[in-house]
Structures are given as C-alpha cells and as structure tokens.
A and B are shown apart, each in its own frame.
Chain A
Amino acid sequence: MSRRRPLNRRTFLHGAGVSLALPMLEAMSPYCSAFAAGLTGPAKRMVIFTNAFGMYPPHFFPKETGGGYKMPQLLAPLERHRKQMTVFSNLDHGLNLGHSGSTTLLNGIERQNASHFPNGNISADQMAAEWLKATTRFPSLQTSVRGKNTLSWTRHGVNLNAINAKHLYDKLFLDLSQKGKQEQAQRYREEASILDVVLDQAMSVHRKLGKNDQKKLDEYLTSVRGLEKQFAQEKQWLDEEKPKTTLGVPPTNMVNAIDEYEIHLDLLALALQTDSTRIITTGLGMVNNDHGLPLSYHAYSHHGERRELVAGLVAIEKFQMEQIARFLDKLKSTDDMINGGNLLDHTMVLFGCGMSTGHHSNKNLPMFLVGGGFKHGEHQSSPTQKSQRVPACNLLLSMLQNFGLQVDQFGTSTATLTGLETI
C-alpha cells in the first residue's frame, strides 16, 4: 500500500464541470484503500431513495430556477430543508427503456450493453462500496419499504436484492452468540479451503477449453477469488460486537404505511449513526389501501390525467417526500461521531427515479440532492437543447468524487456536474 498521501480530491472538483485529461496515477487509482482515504478528508456517506413510478411532473419541477424558487406541491414537505437541498431539472441518461429504466438510475447503462463499458454496468453505490471495502461492517445496504429497489448492480452484472426492516434490524443489531461466532469462523475457514480446491479443479478444466468457453469460465474463477476476498473482509468484523439498541424488533408484515416507513427510515439513520454502513439505497413503495387509496400504485401511475387518479398518485408521492423530510430531520439532529457536526453535513441524500413518470418516460428524471458537503439551495435546470443535454451520470460522478473516489469518469458521464460545488 502506498505511503504517499493521495492527491487531495479538491484538485479534481473544479466545480466548473471540466472533464480531466490527466493520466491515471497510481495514487489516484479508484482502488485506494479506505485507510488511505481517511487521511484526506471527512468520512462521507451516501443514501439514495427511489420509487418505481417517478413523480408527477407538474407538481415536482419548480417553475423558477436559482435560489428562492417556489416549492411545488410535492416538494413542499421539504421546505425546511431548502438551504441544504438542490433540485435538478433536465438530467437523464438518454435511454428509452420504460419500466426497465428504473434499474438504471445509478449507472445509466442497460444491462445488455454492460460489456461495452470498462466497469460494466456497476451502479454508483457499488462503485463506492468496492472502494470502501471493509471500512464498515457492511460495505453497502440495499433496502426497500413496501416496494422494490433494483438500483444496485455489481461489477459482474448482479442486481442486488433489497431487504426489509426486520431483516435490516437483524443485520444491524443481532449478534451471533459466542458459539455462533465460532461456527461462523469455522465456516469461513472451511469455505476458504474449499475454494482452494475448486480453483485448482477449475484451472484444469480451463486448460482444456476453447477460447470462448475460457472467457465464460473466467467468470467462475473471478467469483472464486472474489469470494475469498469477501470472506477475508467479513472475518475482520466477526469478532467485533455489533452496536446495541433500545429499539424493538420491527414486526413483519406491517399493515400501516406510516409505521413501516418510520421504523424503516429510523433504522437507516441508525445504520449511519453506528457507522454500520456508509452506503445505502432504498426503494419506496406503496401497497393497496395505503393512505386510504384502494387501487394499486401501478394503477395510479396509469392515471391518463384522470383527476381522481392523479390525486391518488400525488398523495402517494407526497407521503414519500414527507418521510424523506423526516429522515433528514433525524440526520440533522444526530451527532456525527466520526466527523463532528451533524450526520447530514457529510451524508449525500439523493432522491431520483430511473423512470420519470408513469407514462414510461425516461427523460428529465426527477432528482434532488441534500447534504453531503455541497453548496445547496437552488433549483438547477440543465439545457434542453439536444446537443447540450447533461448526462445524469455527471451528478453521480460528482457524488463519487465527493465520497472520496479518485475517478474522472463514471458510467456515461462527460464531466462532473457544472454548478454543483463543495463547501
């Protein structure tokens, strides 16, 4: 590991959105260890919220740009966080995928095109997780409340499953017994020795295969090595006690949406507070009869501009915004034990949807960013002319650099996001 102090990330973020043509120096490699990163700046976190059906555009995008814009109906619950928040208009990934677009929010790349890109279709959160490694017990967490979350993609094209509140609680607070820990340590040993054997076996198969097959078998070899690394990282945490909490175990199958959202988002805040993880993605959903609405979320998204259905959709969406506002309250009022200040100061909270509306459009994705150490307070509208449109990956690149990664490109980014500067 290099003893050189890695370049200060500020040399990257010009804020003017200029793309870098610097050669990739060893110290700027994205795979700097988290230990080295700790030398450069505060520990950063990112939380991404999403939903599967977008936001009703007339009530989401502010009419005015700059500061002092009037909060539209859907953003009104976030008024008290205005100063820490930036709303974006006219960012998207240039894709036309309908519902499947929801899975591309954090990478801007369709799964089937992944092989054309150097990092595959890895999502921004997983990029950050790879970099952070075993700094926290959980490199990242994927959760969902009453809905789906398909945001997180590994480098190998695995779309990670999301967990619910009960599962999240167990992960955060349920410690294995002493015996359980011994068994788990034993299991790591056994599996490591199994991996040695199967690797050798696979190499002998590899030698006998044609070239195309060898490439495919390489996936297996990479997996074996990847698992070995993962076990080594997890083992580091095995003997550490998990944090304690007075919070009770969340019930499964909560009927009341308010209860479930509040419990779930409180757990997310706790996860950050205890530094169990620094990277979270969460899907926000709705179940029939939530908010007194009898139809399904899908049905409301197909409103066809019919008044009652639009009203239903807006109620669903507004509720999500209220819950996010409450989550932000929590972060603001919680001390950041690592960096000082409050948790929101160094936590980037992004809300975005890969499918922008129920009409299956993937243009002009509804997005806003809160906290994390950026200068906020404005509604930023990017150009609409075809040759001047800004890729949403530029925002993701800015977030990754802010997180600490020394990268100058991510997904389909052309530069960092103009107009988004750090404090």
Chain B
Amino acid sequence: MWTQTCRLVGGALFAIESSLVLLLPLSQLDAAEAVAEVPPFLKTYCISCHGEKKQNGDQRFDTLTLNLSDSNNLRTWQNILDVLHRGEMPPDKDGVKQPSDKERRQVIVGLEEQLLKAYAQNNSTGGEAIYRRLNRFEYRNTIRDLLGINIEFVDPTEKFLPDTSEEGLDNVGNALVTSDYFLQQAMGAAETMIQRATHFEPRPKTISRTSPGPVLHRKGGILTTASRENNNAYDEIFEQAARGISGGYIGMSDYPEGVSVSGRYRIQLTASSSNQRHPWGDSIPTDQNEALRVGVVIFNARNADALRYSASEKNVGEYPLPESGAKRTFELELWLEEGWAPKFVWVNAPFRAYRTGEKLLQRYFPDLYQPRPDPRLGTRVKQEYLYEIGRLLVDNNKGPTLRIHEVKIEGPLLDQWPPKGHVLMYGKGEVRSQDVEMHLKRFATQAFRRPVTSPEMEPYTALVRQYEAEGKSTVEALQIGYKALMSSTPFLHMPQFYDTLSANELATRLSYFLWSSMPDTTLFELASDGSLLQPDVLHAQVERMLEDPKSQAFVTHFTDRWLRLDKINSMPPDVKQYKSYYDENLDVAMKQETHLFFGHILQKNLPISNFIDSDFTFVNRGLADLYGMAPLDDAALVKVAITDKRRGGLLGHASVLTATANGIDTSPVIRGVWVLNNLLGTPPTPPPPDVEPLAPDLQGALTIREQLDKHRENPSCYDCHVKIDPMGFALENYGPIGEWRESYGRSRTPIDASARMADGSQYKDIVEFKEELLKRKELVTRHLTKKLLEYSTGRIMELEDRKELDAIVVTVKARGSGLRDLVHEIVQSTVFLKK
C-alpha cells in the first residue's frame, strides 16, 4: 500500500477465538468483486441483531453506508472487520446463521482494501510536499558547509531528539515535527557553532615536531614500562588494546592535551615488528604467517586517558610491518580537532598472552622465575615483584612485539586563513559597525539559501544595533544576529512557494537529495540566472554532484533508511556466542559493505537486479570470515567476486540479516515482511488486533516452521501469512548476524529453507528463491523508484503519482534498469520538479 495505515483506537474489543475452517484457495478473489458482496453479507448475517429492531451491543448497521470519508463510519467498519477477523461474529450460538468460509473471507478482503484506501486518503497531503524541516543529518551537514566546522569531531546535534520517520524515511516533511524543544536545541547549537567558527586569532604557525621513541614516558603496562627502562630507542607493545583491557596503547607524552589548533595534520610514524616468527607458539598463539600490523588511533586527550579505551576514539589507519623486523615509515594526513591526539596499537596482537609475564618466565626461564610474594606483605611488595619479573622477561624475550621508533607530526596545514566560516561571518580585515547590514546580508544569502532583500534584513539589523547600543562589540552583536538568522524558519525549513519549483527551490531540493546539505556556489549561480531549470544543465549538475565526495551522504543515508539498517544494534547479539561481532566491529563493517555495494551500483550504472542477486560484494577480514569466504588480511573493505551463489545481492548481506533478527534468533515472518516491504514493495496488511504474539515454547522444541504451520491453519491468519512466510523461509539458513547455518542451535534440527509461494511457485533454497525474485525484478525497480522519489522530495507517494512513477519505470527499464539512469530520470521527472 502507498501510505502507512492508521488504526483508530475506538472500542476495540478483546479476547480471541479461532475456529478451524476448511481453507479454500483465495487466489480467485477479486477485491472489487468482494466489496460488492459486503452489503448483502451484512443484510443476511448481521442486520437481524444490529438493525432497526435490535441493536445488540449498541451497534446498528442497517443505516451504515460505505462512505469511508466519514470517520465515524470508518471506525464502525474497522470494528466490523476486526470481529470478522477474530471469528467472533456472527456469534457461535444455536440458531445463528453462519456465513461460509468463502463468504467470510471475501468480505474481509474487500473491506480491507477499502479501509486501506480510506486511511491513505486520511494521510494524504494532496500530492504535495509539506513544509519540511531539516532533519538531524541534514542540519549537521549544513553546519559543516555553512560554517566550515568539522562535524566528524563536533556534533551540533548531539542533544537533538531523534527525528520522527514515516515508512522508514526520516526526511518526510509532514512527519517531521518542529517543537519548542527542537527550537531551543537549534538556538543553542547555533550559538556554539558560531563561536567555534570564529577565529580572530592570528594565523597559527604550521609546526613540525619529531618525537623520538620512546614516545610514552609515563607508566604504561608493566612490560611496556620495563621495556622502556631496558632500551632508550623505542616503545614496545605486548598486547591487544581493547575495551575493558588496560595497556596496549602507546600514547604520546609530548601531547598531553592534544594539539592546540584544529586542522589538518600530517603524521609520520616509524615502526617495526620483532619476532614475528617465534618459538613460544604454545603460550602466545599468533598466526606466525601474518604480518604484525600497527594501528593509529585518535582520541580526545582532554576528556580521556591515552592508555584507556574511550568511546569516542577513532581508528584512522592500519599498516603491516615486514617480517624481517626492518623499520618502516608510514605517512597519513588527517584532521585533528583541538585537544585530540594520536596513539598507537598493535592491531592483531594476541589477547592477554603476555599479561605480566609471570607465566612465560616460569615456563621458559624457570631458573629466573620466582613465585609471587605472600599477599599479606602488601601491594607495594607485589608491585615491585611484578616489575622485576617484567624486567627479566623483557631482557630475555623471544616472543613477538611491536615497536614504535619515532613519530613526526606536522600541522596545522591550512588551506586558508581565516577559515571559510569566519570569512562568511566577518569578511576579511576589520569588522566595522557601518558594515553590519552587508555582513548580515551576505550570511543570510547563504543561510536562507536564496537572495535576501534589505527590508527582510531590517529586523536583524535592528537587533544587532540594539546590542551594540548596550555596549557589546560589533562582533558580539553580529554573533547574536547570526544566531537569530540560524533560528529563523528559512534556515531551519525548506519553504516552497511555487507549484512548479523555482530555480532556487530546485537547487535546495537537489542538494538535499544528493548531498543532504545546502547548495554550493555553482548551484547558487545556476539558480540565480535560472539555467538550472534547463534539462541538460540539470543533468550535468547531477553528474557533477554524484562525483563529489559529498554524495556519500546520499549513498549511506538513503541506503540505511531504505533498508532499515538503523535496526542494527537495537538488539545486539550475545557477546560470548558472537565474539567476532565485537572483535571485528562487524556492525560497522557490515553497514559499510552495503554502502559500498549501493555506491558501486550507482557509480557504474549497474542494473537494479543486482540488489536481488549479484556476482560481487565488498568484504574485509571479519566479513570474509563470517561469510566463509577466502580469508583476507585487511580491515578495510575490498570488492570481491562471489562464486558461492548463496551469497550475492542484498539478501546475503549481514547488514540486512542482522537488522531483521533480534540478536538471539531469527523469524521468517520478520524477514518475510522485510522482503515484501523493502525489496518488492508489496507490504502485507497489518495484523488484526489482539493477535497473540508468537510465544515460543522452546521447551517443546517446535521449529519455527512447525509453529508457523500451526499458525496458518487459522483461516484469518492464513490469507496474509501465505504471502509473508514464504518470503522468509529461504533466509532461515542465515543466523542472527547473517552467518550460514545448517541446523538450529543445540537441538541440531536441520533447517528446511524451502517453501511454496502464494502464487504457487516453489523454491528449495536461497539460490532458487533469488531466481524467483529475479522473475519479479520489475517490482524491485518500481519500489526503489518510489523510495527514491520519496527521499528526494520529502513526501510519501500517493495514488495520483502512480502514472508518473510507471512512466519512469518504463523509461529506465528500456535502458537496462541502471541505478544511475534512474537517479537522472527522477531528477527530470514532474514529481521532482513540482512541489
């Protein structure tokens, strides 16, 4: 259906009864026919108790019309549908005429269709986009582009509440709400961001600083500290750095508070490995064929201790070291916000293999080893003992370690000074009171995303003058003016005054579609002379925008919303059973896989059918392992060919499979609904009220298939589940994080992933299931078109849009159903060009 249904809560009754009735095939039923059956049905089975003479339960139907735009009527019909679903009416008593099963189901089908249409009508926005607010994602990106703030490190929206979404999309104008809470947060964010973007200080010098090893001068782990005493040339890492485990990080004592200026920095790191091949394999289980890898991590040195895991730290690079132990130098350029600093880790270190070294010393150097002193002698004695053991081990170490020899940091590397955002606010040079209106106008043109008039600026100018008069400096007063501009509706919302979008309105819609941010200079220029409205110019702009790295916003955000990947980590899997999920950060990797997948199909204009089944995907070390593919060494994702037809397409992606499970088990119903909703675009009707949720009796060890089979014996459940369940059974071989499994858990019951679909076609496994889906690939193209139209215009498509949508699908199909072509067709469509 086109819009989400809305269940009115009027007078819903409770209790469930179900009767086993012989099931007839429903495939012959036509909804239009079925509606015609409704009034005679009421007359035959209902009116005698709910009509002129009697009104049992205060319900009367003889005067009821099928006019569903009346909300009282709608509520009554919904009640009728509900009791029919539950088999409660007509009541199972002597002398009460019962409809045949076929009659009952016909009426249900007909009523459902009518009611869904009526609900869609209720939710209709007249086929027009409704005044739309910037959502959190768009707000963040807009701040980045307006004020030049690095939003990777500073999140102006960190206190904002989640956006309300509709059908999975978080940028639907009608659904997004502007509340006093939002406005207050936006005002606060504006003030903070304006401060951050203000830089009247002189241009910071670019400094280059070399820190020779050891770079850590304070106590680290016991062995790291002992090693430093032993040699004066390098830091040594012995163990894994991870959440909950201290040590394993080498921080830089030269930057106790991080860098003092935000900006781009160049880091040169010289490192080596030692003893990649070693004789202590029994105690230190490393893969001796695998190179040791050094990792660079950045963290907020003002908030966190270098030597402890902090939630905001980021991995920025990973480099393999030669087996020979030769030193290697790596260079990387990155942004460091003021207060941030780098630190170093041994990425593929063993966990807790060294610890304090006692066990190793005892095993390999028994004559050096001494047992621990009596604990009653106190902590200091114990500490001294441990350091002594550490020294002995380090002196004689034959095990693998990683060494940091030197770190050079150069920066900030500045493209311009003052930075872009500052120049937008204050220009270059002295800020004079007589220039206030000029400054405001320049800023407003960008903030409002259109030219502004002097009369429009008057109240803002007056505001600034008021504060100047009270003694504030021109700069301070201007900041209040900018805060006001960023709290105004032309900034926070996207006004559209014309039925056919003006050039400026089009520029805004286009940039928030492909960049989730404000237009850039080129787009503003093309809007100002109206040339953006020309189809060939529009086409060229789409190409330019897709090539720009800012289009990553479209690739990642649209994919997440379309496929509902926001559900990943809402119910995370068990830490022990799915250790790799956490060790390998699979939640991050699996989303990246899907993003890269979408991005590649877009980039190369590949056919949309690739979403159903493909001969490639993107994996890294952790995902390759999860998928049972040839092992990879890298934490970065690379494109791989798929030879095993069980993977391929979105249904093989761990992201989709994890988002449709609950971290503990899987359900063909949940996954089936996902396939119907998000891939085929043929959502099932919502369940009737008071469907008792499946309460798994896991002691009885019924498989989910057996439970669902029982469920489908109920005729009122059958009609929908015969469509839903077969869409999910094929995926049962994939566990809660997308791992392949042949049987269920401890019971070892083998998994049967076959099913018969509602139209009779059958499949025996995921491979055949995908073949069946490929036969329906036009549905996928159509649904993706709908989703893209909705995402790009900020409104849900309605019945009136059907014609235009069909036309797009036909055009795109004739050219091979390429995804890039589809994006172009959408931008050129009437739906996109009109409000």
Interface residues of chain A, those whose CB is within 8 Å of chain B, are: 93-96, 98, 108-113, 116, 154, 156-161, 190-191, 193-195, 197-198, 200-202, 204-205, 208-210, 212-213, 216-217, 219-220, 222-224, 226-227, 230, 288, 294-296, 298-299, 302, 304-306, 359-361, 363, 384-387, 389, 412
Contact = CB atoms under 8 A, between A and B. Distances in A.
A200 to B, nearest CB: 6
A193 B463 contact: yes
Contact of A227 (B126, B184, B460, B687): B184
A109 B9 contact: yes
B57 interface: yes
B326 interface: no
B484 A361 contact: no
B490 A205 contact: yes
Contact of A201 (B57, B459, B691): B459
B179 A223 contact: yes
B245 interface: no
Given A96-B689, A113-B6, A212-B126, 7 more contacts: A98-B693, A156-B180, A205-B495, A223-B180, A227-B183, A298-B663, A306-B698
Contacts of A159: 161
A111 B164 contact: yes
B130 interface: yes
Task: Give the interface SS of chain B, mostly helix, strand, loop or mixed.
Answer: loop
A212 B8 contact: no
Contacts of B130: 212-213, 216
A197 B484 contact: yes
27 contacts: A110-B7, A156-B179, A156-B180, A158-B161, A190-B483, A193-B463, A193-B466, A194-B483, A197-B463, A208-B497, A212-B128, A216-B130, A216-B173, A219-B179, A220-B489, A222-B180, A223-B178, A224-B183, A226-B180, A227-B180, A296-B572, A299-B664, A302-B664, A304-B697, A384-B15, A385-B15, A387-B57
Contact of B14 (A94, A198, A220): A94
Contact of A304 (B13, B173, B698): B698
Contacts of B463: 193-194, 197
A212 B130 CA distance: 7
Nearest to A201: B488
Most chain A CB atoms below 10 A, which of B4, B492, B690: B690
A198 B489 contact: yes
Contact of A389 (B14, B180, B662): B14
A298 B664 CA distance: 9
B493 interface: yes
Contact of B9 (A197, A212, A220, A412): A412
A240 B697 CA distance: 58
B164 A157 contact: yes
Contacts of A386: 13-15
A216 B131 contact: yes
A188 B12 CA distance: 48
Interface of B: 4, 6-9, 12-15, 57, 125-126, 128, 130-131, 161, 164, 173-174, 177-184, 187, 456, 459-460, 462-463, 466-467, 480, 483-484, 487-490, 492-493, 495-497, 571-572, 574-576, 662-665, 687, 689-693, 695-699
Contacts of A156: 177, 179-180
Contact of A359 (B664, B687, B695): B695
A157 B179 contact: yes
B178 A96 contact: no
A111 B178 CA distance: 15
Contacts of B571: 298
Given A197-B460, A213-B131, A305-B698, A223 B183 contact: yes
B183 A220 contact: yes
Nearest to A96: B689
Contact of B12 (A94, A116, A158, A213): A94
A96 B650 CA distance: 31
Contacts of B497: 208-209
Closest 7 CB pairs of A and B: A304-B698, A226-B180, A216-B131, A386-B13, A213-B131, A360-B693, A223-B180
Nearest to A155: B179
A264 to B, nearest CB: 21
Contact of A220 (B164, B178, B466, B692): B178
Nearest to B174: A216
A205 B484 CA distance: 16
A133 to B, nearest CB: 14
Contact of A158 (B131, B177, B664, B689): B177
A98 B184 CA distance: 32
Contact of B8 (A113, A157, A204): A113
Nearest to A307: B699
Q: Which of A108, A213, A288 has the most CB of B within 10 A?
A: A213
Contacts of A194: 187, 463, 480, 483-484, 487
A4 to B, nearest CB: 31
A359 B693 contact: yes
Contacts of A219: 177-179
Nearest to A299: B664
Contacts of B480: 190, 194
Nearest to B161: A158
B710 to A, nearest CB: 16
Nearest to A93: B9
B179 A158 contact: yes
B577 to A, nearest CB: 10
A124 to B, nearest CB: 17
